[in-house]
Chain A
Amino acid sequence: MEDLNIKIKEIFRNFSNDPGNLIPILQKVQKELGYISLPAIEEISCFLKLTESEIYGVASFYSQFRFNPRGRHSITVCLGTACHVRGGSILMEAFERDLEIKTGECTLDKRFDLDGVACLGCCALAPVVKIDNDIYGNMSVIKLKETLEPYE
């Protein structure tokens, strides 16, 4: 808890307490902590003088924000149109099956978390999967294992 408080206070230093800063603050908190935790929402509530429900209302509106801890590596499967017609949703199913988790969850060993995204904008190379900051084009269900291997 102490640790969290220090981190959050550090984030608040870069912002004024204008409620218009709510989204950038949430983004920064997620970047530092990996997700939006309940104690973090309480801290933001004190800082911006907004109720916790208002903050949760905004955070849950946007697909970027997560309320569960993340794994060491994040897998993002593109579910855009170009990826869909080239098998994006089938890739997503394969990840869910291989990792034995559902979209938005994290594996038990905390190695991977899994999410879909509306479009990564690399449509010409569909279907596309992003692992951390690496983008893999022309993916296929038979390439999953070898693609995940380097990520420990």
Chain B
Amino acid sequence: MNNFDKLITKSKKDWDNLNNSEIPIIYLGTASCGRAAGAEKVKETVLSYLKKHKIQAHFIEVGCIGTCYLEPLMDISAFGNPRISFGNVDPKWAERILEKYLLEKDFFKQKVVGHFGEKPFNDLPSFFDLPMIKPQVRIVLKNCGLIDPENINHYIAQDGYMGLKRALELSQNAVIEEITNSGLRGRGGAGFPTGKKWKICREAKGNIKYMICNADEGDPGAFMNRSLLEGDPHAVLEGLLIAAYAIGASEGYIYIRAEYPLAIHRLNIAIEQMKNAGLLGKNILGSNFSFNIKIKEGAGAFVCGEETALIASIEGKRGMPRTRPPFPVISGLHGKPTTINNVETLGTVPHIIRNGSTWYKQYGVEGNYGTKTFSLVGKVKRTGLIEVPLGTSLKKIIYDIGGGTLKPFKAVQTGGPSGGCIPKELLDTTVTYESLTAAGSIMGSGGLIVMDTDTCVVDVARYFLDFIQKESCGKCTPCRVGTRHMVEILEKICDGQGDVEDLNRLESLAKIVKSASLCGLGQTAPNPVLTTLRYFRNEYIEHIVNKYCPALVCRSLIEFYVVPDNCTGCQRCVSVCPTGAITGPRSEVHNLDTTKCIKCRACLEICRFDAIAGNAIIIRSKEAK
């Protein structure tokens, strides 16, 4: 038995021992999203509680399971019962839940999200039957939230690195063929067939080749790659090794955003563990394959997601794209053949090699096989990280998984700043590379931002264009100057200063930027404007002709107002107003001076959330009084 086989046996045994352990196991989701919801404080509470009461328990920090709206999530497995997940656990609740369960073997039902048992347990819902989880197919995210991402043994116990083991037993061409047969396409958004990319790179001339993982997840509103790297870093690293073996690379890079410190931390831990397990370095698992990985931190430039810009950045230069061809697979990093794959693409690879391409092709639809992860955010009830088979309709994602919107649905933005707004009428559109392009948007890396009637599409178009304009590298004129002009026109419209001719100007500029820009950033930049003009032209007209913002967002077109009948005269708003615009003695209806008001929303929020306030402050249109 070689060392790796010993490690497999040990890992499986440890995993079984853990799950059959006499002492309770407490799992806490401490990915970045969990931390944002306060998981660090919960951790302190749990640890001090265990210490104070001298309770023996395993405490395991896990990644994000995807139900972000229920964060922080704490799971307990004890007394031979299935693992039970508790949601929205603040420190106070953590203590109460621990006390009730560990000391009284009972639980607060209202905090239970679900259990992870295979059989029914009490009358608790099964986690996997929850409306948000049931329609999903979790392949890439299989381990996220369930294993300790900082423990390689946990990953190995879930058949981790068995894909690599199998790959090393196959020829390089056979690995490429398996990936080609699976129909896997680039999950970074462009959808180029992964097997084809590998084949070209493998056949390219050169002794030195490079394999790069693109973890520069720059789309604002997308966090799939962060969650995967934080929750299951070894899955991505295994995929990177398989890819490197297939193309014949001996050196690899992970290019990751510096804004993801936890993911970087966990990758570093994972790489150390791989070295110790003989999974990196010379003659991996006794084969002829040798490979090393370096982490390169991106320094904050959206354009570096574009592959030639990414390469320039690794070389220490400004991240500016260059013309292609030659494509990086022929001449990339330091002029050598280089394959660049997205985090999710690489995270999928081990599963395909382990289970075979036929297994993978049972998911998805013709030409778009497999699954895709999305970050479902914005004005949807159940926000989070999801994974669905390609070919699932947007309606199913937003309503069945996301639970719909509180206010009426208006649009969903796919593909980030390079994508477009898809209206209600097109919600039957399925998520495939082709159908989203036909709707004027793109698949992109997987951000789904849901907008309701409180979101102004003109403002959103302005936001995206402003983002792109700031991130434009400045190399080519259409993108650098064109997007600037488009932002100026959109700002004018949002300010109520637009004229109808502006819409034609926008459209003609958009066409020029789209067709004449050098790289994908410029070529897709006008998409948000073009789709909103196509589906929501009326909203533009309302802003221009009637000086009216239907969503009451554009600040030049709205004003704040105290509804006299609702005002309780509690003075809460008076105390938070930074400009002294609200006045009035206690118990009398307050007066809001619109000439002093800077529309900061402080009064609105305090009036809405404070118990004694009457929800009396509203936003109304300046024009339609």
Contacts and interface: CB of A to CB of B under 8 A. Distances in A.
Interface of A: 18-24, 26-27, 57-58, 61-65, 79-87, 90, 93-94, 97-98, 117-126, 128, 133-137, 140-142
A118 B417 CA distance: 11
Given A123-B377, A125-B37, A141-B605, A27 B221 contact: no
Given A27-B299, A97-B578, A128 B36 contact: yes
A85 B451 contact: yes
Contacts of B447: 81, 123
A22 B600 contact: no
Interface in B292-328: 296-302, 313-319
A141 B602 CA distance: 6
Interface of B: 32-33, 35-38, 40, 68-69, 71, 217-223, 226-227, 258-261, 296-302, 313-319, 375-379, 383-385, 413, 416-417, 447, 449, 451, 455, 460, 463-464, 467, 471, 473, 576, 578, 600-602, 605-606, 609
A125 B36 contact: yes
A117 B318 CA distance: 19
Contact of B377 (A24, A94, A124): A124
Contact of A22 (B33, B316, B379, B471): B316
Nearest to A125: B36
21 contacts: A19-B315, A23-B297, A23-B299, A27-B258, A57-B318, A58-B318, A63-B301, A64-B299, A84-B220, A85-B455, A90-B601, A93-B600, A121-B226, A123-B449, A124-B384, A124-B385, A125-B33, A125-B37, A126-B377, A141-B600, A142-B602
A124 B259 contact: no
A122 B36 contact: yes
Contacts of B451: 85
A121 B217 contact: yes
Contacts of A86: 378
B36 A142 contact: no
B223 A123 contact: yes
B576 A117 contact: no
B300 A62 contact: yes
Contact of B221 (A26, A65, A119): A119
A118 B258 contact: no
Nearest to B473: A61
B316 A63 contact: no
A98 to B, nearest CB: 8
A137 B37 contact: yes
A119 B220 contact: yes
A119 B65 CA distance: 20
A36 B578 CA distance: 35
Given A62-B298, A81-B416, A82-B378, 19 more contacts: A20-B314, A21-B316, A63-B301, A64-B299, A64-B300, A81-B417, A84-B463, A85-B379, A86-B378, A97-B600, A98-B578, A118-B471, A120-B259, A123-B223, A123-B375, A125-B33, A134-B40, A137-B71, A141-B601
Nearest to B447: A81
A97 to B, nearest CB: 6
A4 B385 CA distance: 45
Contact of B316 (A20, A93, A123): A20
Contacts of A79: 220
Given A27-B299, A120-B259, A135-B32, A90 B379 contact: no
B259 A121 contact: yes
B606 A19 contact: no
B467 A118 contact: yes
A87 B454 CA distance: 11
Given A124-B68, A125-B71, A80 B221 contact: yes
Given A24-B296, A142-B606, A124 B35 contact: no
Given A97-B600, A133-B261, A123 B463 contact: no
B32 A19 contact: no
A141 B449 CA distance: 23
Nearest to A129: B36
Nearest to A61: B318
Contacts of A27: 258, 297, 299
Given A62-B301, A117-B259, A124-B68, A82 B377 contact: yes
B73 to A, nearest CB: 12
Contacts of A80: 220-221
Contacts of A87: 601
Contacts of A20: 314-316
A124 B258 contact: no
Nearest to A19: B316
Contacts of B318: 57-58, 61
Contacts of A83: 220
B69 A121 contact: no
A90 B68 contact: no
A122 B218 CA distance: 13
Contacts of B227: 121
B299 A26 contact: yes
Nearest to A59: B299
A124 B69 contact: yes
A16 B451 CA distance: 50
Given A118-B302, A124-B375, A24 B36 contact: no
Given A61-B301, A84-B463, A142-B576, A94 B602 contact: yes
Contacts of B217: 121
Contacts of A126: 377
Contacts of A61: 301, 318-319, 473
A85 B460 contact: yes
Contact of A119 (B40, B222, B297, B464): B222
A121 B601 CA distance: 25
Contacts of A121: 32-33, 217, 222-223, 226-227, 259-260
A124 B297 contact: no
Contacts of B377: 81-82, 123-124, 126
B605 A142 contact: yes
B220 A135 contact: no
A122 B33 contact: yes
A19 B334 CA distance: 12
Nearest to B302: A118
